[in-house]
Amino acid sequence: MSPNQPEIEALFSEVREVTPAPAFTAQANATPELYERAERDPEAFWAAEAKQRISWSRPWDSVLEWELPYAKWFVGGQLNVAYNCVDRHVEQGLGAKVAYYWEGEPGDTRTLTYADLQREVNKAANALKALGVGIGDRVGIYMPMIPELPIAMLACAKIGAPHVVVFGGFSSDALEGRMIDAEAVALITADGGWRNGKVLDLKAAADVAVGNAPTIKNVLVVRRTGHDVPMTEGRDHWWHDVVDGQSAECDPVPVDSEHLLYLLHTSGTTAKPKGIMHTTGGYLAGVSTTHHYIFDIKPDDVYWCAADIGWVTGHSYIVYGPLANGTTGVLYEGAPQFPEPDRWWSIVEKYKVSILYCAPTAIRAFMKQGDDWPAKHDLSSLRLLGTVGEPINPEAWLWYRRAIGGSRCPVVDTWWQTETGMILITPLPGITTLRPGSATRPFPGIGAKVVDADGTEVANGSGGGYLVLTRPWPAMLRGIYKDPERYLSTYWRRFPGMYFAGDGCKVDDDGYFWLLGRVDDVMKIAGHRISTIEVESALVDHPAVAEAAVVGRSDPVTGEAISAFVILKSHITPSDELALELREHVAKKIGAIARPKMVMFTPELPKTRSGKIMRRLLRDIAEHRTLGDVTTLADSGIVETIRVKAQSSEADQLV
């Protein structure tokens, strides 16, 4: 047992609070005064931050235009995001500073300084121009975690072409839908990437998707794994052929503050992913400001956000926030526990990482492997830890702080969403007294509260409700691409005048926010949003399936795991092989993260008299709980039948 154990136990059972260490407070970027100043005049607060952190090529005329539910920030201002993230640092003499330490899964490494990044971004931007990509054109990006991924994003930003990044673990179907929705003109991909010692064949998936997305005229392919890939004449180009010979100079295109910077698709309550729109000035101000205060960024920090750039966490806190702040970051290509469960800790030790930001699901997976793996490494460089993506259970929080942070690092539990673009509820390190499991308080200037079903604010300490946001913030989404009606109905109709986040939350006696998970039909699998309906559609897409319902049930490592209840077509006989086939079918249609952990065949599903599937009851069954209210069921015998079947078939299928 570690010598720190008793202190933690005391924390857990008695105090359940961690007060800031005075030494940390003394050097912290944040001050308590931020809250008061921002609350007094939020617009003035954001204007001051935007002025200080960003170089504008034209100043704004007004800070905020707010016509609910549409916000415009820094209206009339012009800037270029790539200039702000790269060029100006080089101009200011930081060319030799490391922008990224990159490590591939096989152990190969690259170091990119800000000067290197500038040269590579400029060449890539010139290559895009040579392929006919212009301002406003959408460019798809489907890549492993290699330096060309942020380079490609910045190259797009440099010429004002919005990017549409699709997580490299997604299937060709997922890529195709997103490319069609975005009407992308080009796609940047790679031959493949490394994951758990195997090659992920991205080019093969990209070929299928591009074949069905006719707006894509050009495909740029980075050589990463070196395996043989087919290249389509006239459409596909090797990155090294097209990019390497370009000029290393490229003037940034100044764009309006409200110019579309990127689309990022996220799961909602229908099968079609939503193209979340993020624009330029407010977004960059929001991510750079939060990154500065919440991660307490200092010039000599080595900061590692261990997410994939394909998710919003990577967009905001691997690429844009950190680079705007001139930070040195770490990028790692592969699986967290490859080849051994201490891969991450060897990276922390090797690069002397001082700030680590990751997901609770990763923390739980490491916790399961025990203290010995991190204990093999010198983790004394760490001075701050962060989490994001789902609620973190206090036990995992305390383990993270002790086994990884040596009981000396503040832990910032940060709540936000693809839609919010930036962290909104979080401690400020050095200022906030921490409570394990609570994201604590809204960031300065953010209006957040918890309301009951009627939209009335729930008093502190009086139970749970729905999290809402009461005023605009700079990095907020500007809409759903090509779907204003869905934007209104998803976020703004439930509680008039307030943004509905879709999360349950309670506020304790002292005003601390405790996030309780999603209240809609969105699951959080290993920290990633997956809607029940997307998985159901993928199941029904299989020729043997007549109907399907899926629910997330709690899982000790991944937070939630998918349980699928499947009705087969009448002539099909259920079998273990078929269950396996269905699981693989979903993985193929959506990606491995959506593969159901359990598939159960059932003759019926519990439905209301109006035909709505009662997922709540399925969740009870999956969790082995006593069933909740069944009075609205059309056929009350059916749940009992499913429950008995579930108990007998489940044991064999769990992996």
Q: Footprint of ligand WTA on this chain (CB under 6 A)?
A: 266, 311-313, 388-391, 413-418, 439, 501-503, 515, 518, 524, 529
Distance of closest approach, residue 356 Cβ to ligand WTA, in angstroms = 15
Name which of 173 and 419 has its Cβ closer to ligand WTA. 419
CA 290 to CA 82: how far, in whole Å? Answer: 19
CA 187 to CA 139: how far, in whole Å? Answer: 6
Name which of 27 and 554 has its Cβ closer to ligand WTA. 554
Name which of 477 and 567 has its Cβ closer to ligand WTA. 477
419 backbone dihedrals φ, ψ, rounded to 5°: -70, -35
Please report which helix (H) or strand (E) contains residue 464, including its range.
strand 464-469
Distance of closest approach, residue 412 Cβ to ligand WTA, in angstroms = 9
Q: Where are the alpha helices (DSSP H) in 295-359?
A: 312-314, 321-324, 343-351
User: ω before 339 within 30° of 0 (cis)?
Assistant: yes
Name which of 414 and 432 has its Cβ closer to ligand WTA. 414
Q: Which two tokens stand for residue 565?
A: 């209840």
> What are the C-alpha distances in Å from 147 to residues 56, 80, 365, 541?
27, 21, 27, 36
Residues in the chain: 655
CA 330 to CA 279: how far, in whole Å? Answer: 26
Name which of 252 and 410 has its Cβ closer to ligand WTA. 410
Contacts of 453 (CB under 8 A, 6+ apart): 465, 466
SS3 601: strand
> What are the C-alpha distances in Å from 222 to residues 28, 77, 200, 203?
41, 35, 14, 10
Q: Are 225 and 191 in contact (CB under 8 A)?
A: yes
Name which of 266 and 325 has its Cβ closer to ligand WTA. 266
Name which of 121 and 356 has its Cβ closer to ligand WTA. 356
The DSSP output letter for 443 is P
Provide the terminal-to-terminal Cα distance of the chain, rounded to the nearest Å: 30
Q: Are 229 and 223 in contact (CB under 8 A)?
A: no
Distance of closest approach, residue 98 Cβ to ligand WTA, in angstroms = 26
Distance of closest approach, residue 278 Cβ to ligand WTA, in angstroms = 12
Distance of closest approach, residue 265 Cβ to ligand WTA, in angstroms = 10
Name which of 152 and 312 has its Cβ closer to ligand WTA. 312
CA 463 to CA 516: how far, in whole Å? Answer: 11
Name which of 137 and 503 has its Cβ closer to ligand WTA. 503
Q: Which two tokens stand for residue 379?
A: 């983790």
Name which of 326 and 410 has its Cβ closer to ligand WTA. 410
Q: Are 428 and 46 in contact (CB under 8 A)?
A: no
Distance of closest approach, residue 510 Cβ to ligand WTA, in angstroms = 18
Distance of closest approach, residue 597 Cβ to ligand WTA, in angstroms = 20
| DSSP-assigned beta bridge partners for residue 468 | 449, 500
Name which of 39 and 520 has its Cβ closer to ligand WTA. 520
CA 11 to CA 205: how far, in whole Å? Answer: 49
Distance of closest approach, residue 422 Cβ to ligand WTA, in angstroms = 9
Name which of 118 and 417 has its Cβ closer to ligand WTA. 417
Measure CA 610 to chain center: 36
Name which of 173 and 413 has its Cβ closer to ligand WTA. 413
Distance of closest approach, residue 345 Cβ to ligand WTA, in angstroms = 23
In 3D space, the residue among 65, 69, 163 whose CA is nearest the CA of residue 486 turns out to be 69
Contacts of 370 (CB under 8 A, 6+ apart): none
Distance of closest approach, residue 439 Cβ to ligand WTA, in angstroms = 5
SS3 135: coil
Distance of closest approach, residue 525 Cβ to ligand WTA, in angstroms = 11
Distance of closest approach, residue 313 Cβ to ligand WTA, in angstroms = 5
DSSP string across 115-128: HHHHHHHHHHHHHH
CA 65 to CA 72: how far, in whole Å? Answer: 5
Distance of closest approach, residue 280 Cβ to ligand WTA, in angstroms = 20
Q: Is 337 exposed, middle or buried (0-12, 13-18, 19+ CB in 10 A)?
A: middle
Name which of 257 and 361 has its Cβ closer to ligand WTA. 361
For residues 131-162, one letter each, b for 16 or more C-beta atoms within 10 angstroms of the residue's C-beta and e for the rest, the string is bebeeebbbbbbbbbbbbbbbbbbbbbbbbbb
Q: Which residue has the tokens 């109905």?
A: 489
Distance of closest approach, residue 515 Cβ to ligand WTA, in angstroms = 3
